[in-house]
Amino acid sequence: MATTVLVGAQWGDEGKGKIIDVLTEQADVVVRYQGGNNAGHTVEVGNEKYILHLIPSGILYPGKLNVIGNGVVVDPIALLEEIDHLQSRGITVNGNLLVSNRAHLVLPYHRLLDSIREEQKGKRKIGTTKRGIGPAYADKVARTGLRVVDLLSPDKFSEKLRRKVRETNEIARTFGAKTLSFKAINDEYLAASKRLQRYIADTIKLLNRLEHDGKQILFEGAQGTHLDIDFGTYPFVTSSNTTAGGACAGTGIPPHRIDKVVGVMKAYTTRVGEGPFPTELLDDQGTMLRETGREFGATTGRPRRCGWFDAVATRYSVMVNGIDELAVTKTDVLDSLSKIKVCVAYRLDGKVTDSIPADVDAMLRCVPVYQEFDGWQTSTKEIREFDDLPKRARNYLKKIAQLSGAKLAIVSVGARRAETIFL
């Protein structure tokens, strides 16, 4: 399998958890490189359903090493809760999970600031997951963040924390929000740090050694390309590089050591939170996709906005990630439709374009130019070979891969491991 980066080619929730899970069989190591517990990767194993937020999906396979890289922002309490939850369901989290000592921490004041900022934005709110992700990355870039390594020096941790809580409380008072107690946070997080110590490591050195030893490493991207801080629909984005380049910055593995990039995309499009979504369906068809596809956020439970496949968006994703292979998920959700549309270009202020405008207000004005396909109107859930799919389904899948500009490699026809077609 070689060293593979897996990314979302749309606005997140592409079904990366399922594809990662399928690919993990051949991997030795699974690594998260960005984002935090804003992510929600759903994996179904047999009759069990798991939703992972911070821990790489490889944890569900015995014998795989799972690494939370330096580019991730880690909420220690959320991490411990996830460890406890997995253990309570019989999953081993012992010797198979490591957290980078250089990863930044998400602390309660980040969540408070996330809420205050969203409230202040009013109608222009981003619709964040309120997990404190943006403020944590802001602290990292402003060089005022606390890192996992600080958990190992309680005095230093407390001193930095005191300063940050004081600073945040001044902001909280300005906006009439509830202030935080330094002591309560300090006690809770120092206790958490004791439990977390066994997982903390210099993952940069370790990952490079494993890569040199020929181990198969799978980089698990979170969110999606159009939520990337640089390449997404800014400001309606998350605060990290969700794209393939993030895998290098977020783990310390150099770019020339990455062998392959796999892009995951749904056979249609969804988005959670605010921001432009040219192919969004606000009618019954959108409701049908939401209900058939069970499109509700894995982290927040929010209903996802649903729409047709947007090939302008995925073509851009193939370009910025260097996607070699595509995995198309949730094909079965389209099984009952008589007609299916694909956006092949945008019409912006009367002109047809295949570019994504940098200006978010221009993006909001983009109207999709559609190509229409006949649906296959038969169940694909039991099909395991590409050639056994209905001709119209094959045509549709080949067409969306061709429009996106990469090779179709995997087709998913259901949430379970077995419901997967390899080409």
Nearest-5° Cα angle at 211, 19 to 208: 115
* C-beta of 237 vs 311, nearer to ligand IMP: 237
- Lookup: tokens for 130: 């309120």
Residue 264 interacting with ligand IMP (CB under 6 A): no
| 4-23 residues near ligand IMP, rule: CB under 6 A | 12-13
Phi, psi dihedral angles at 111 (to 5 degrees): -65, -40
> Whole-number minimum distance, CB 185 to ligand IMP, in Å?
20
In what helix (H) or strand (E) does residue 24 lie, and over which residues does it extend?
helix 16-24
Residue 134 interacting with ligand IMP (CB under 6 A): yes
User: Reduced to 3 states, what is the DSSP secondary structure of residue 89?
Assistant: coil
Cβ-contact 261, 323 below 8 angstroms? yes
- Lookup: tokens for 284: 């019954």
* C-beta of 232 vs 245, nearer to ligand IMP: 232
Q: Given candidates 32, 110, 131, 266, which one binds ligand IMP under the rule CB under 6 A?
A: 131
Distance, in Å, from the CA atom of 375 to the CA atom of 357, rounded to the nearest integer, reads 31
Radius of gyration of the chain (CA): 21
* C-beta of 211 vs 271, nearer to ligand IMP: 271
**Amino acid type, 248:** C
User: Reduced to 3 states, what is the DSSP secondary structure of residue 65?
Assistant: strand
* C-beta of 3 vs 56, nearer to ligand IMP: 56
Instruction: Give the burial string for 270-279 (b: 16+ CB within 10 Å, else e).
Output: bbbbbbbbbb
**Ranges of H-type helices in 278-384:** 284-292, 311-321, 360-365
Q: Given candidates 69, 76, 145, 273, which one binds ligand IMP under the rule CB under 6 A?
A: 273
Task: Specify whether 41 is catalytic.
Answer: yes
Residue 38 interacting with ligand IMP (CB under 6 A): yes
* Closest CA relative to residue 369, chosen from 389, 341, 349: 341
User: Which range binds ligand IMP by CB under 6 A, 36-44, 260-268, 342-350, 388-396?
Assistant: 36-44
> Whole-number minimum distance, CB 220 to ligand IMP, in Å?
12
* C-beta of 266 vs 373, nearer to ligand IMP: 266
Return the half-sphere exposure (C-beta side, CA atoms, 13 A cut-off) of residue 54.
31
Return the half-sphere exposure (C-beta side, CA atoms, 13 A cut-off) of residue 368.
21
Return the half-sphere exposure (C-beta side, CA atoms, 13 A cut-off) of residue 208.
11
Q: Spell out, one character per residue from 329 to 358, where the chain touches ligand IMP: x when CB under 6 A holds, - when not.
A: ------------------------------
Q: Given candidates 4, 34, 100, 238, which one binds ligand IMP under the rule CB under 6 A?
A: 238
What is the DSSP pairing of strand 29-32 with strand 65-68? parallel
DSSP state at residue 256: G
| 193-232 residues near ligand IMP, rule: CB under 6 A | 222-223, 227
* C-beta of 65 vs 112, nearer to ligand IMP: 112
In what helix (H) or strand (E) does residue 344 lie, and over which residues does it extend?
strand 339-348
Task: Specify whether 104 is catalytic.
Answer: no
* C-beta of 272 vs 400, nearer to ligand IMP: 272
Residue 127 interacting with ligand IMP (CB under 6 A): yes
Distance, in Å, from the CA atom of 261 to the CA atom of 412, rounded to the nearest integer, reads 18
Residue 295 interacting with ligand IMP (CB under 6 A): no
Q: Which residue has the tokens 């939703």?
A: 51
> Whole-number minimum distance, CB 125 to ligand IMP, in Å?
9
* C-beta of 127 vs 375, nearer to ligand IMP: 127
Residue 42 interacting with ligand IMP (CB under 6 A): no
User: Which range binds ligand IMP by CB under 6 A, 33-41, 62-70, 85-93, 359-367?
Assistant: 33-41
Of these residues, 21, 41, 139, 150, which one is catalytic? Answer: 41
Give the nearest residue (CB) to ligand IMP: 273
Distance, in Å, from the CA atom of 268 to the CA atom of 266, rounded to the nearest integer, reads 5
Number of residues that bind ligand IMP (CB under 6 A): 19
Residue 133 interacting with ligand IMP (CB under 6 A): yes
Residue 74 interacting with ligand IMP (CB under 6 A): no
Q: Which residue has the tokens 């699974």?
A: 30
Positions marked catalytic? 13, 41
The residues of the shown chain that bind ligand IMP, judged by CB under 6 A, are 12-13, 38-40, 126-129, 131, 133-134, 222-223, 227, 238-239, 272-273
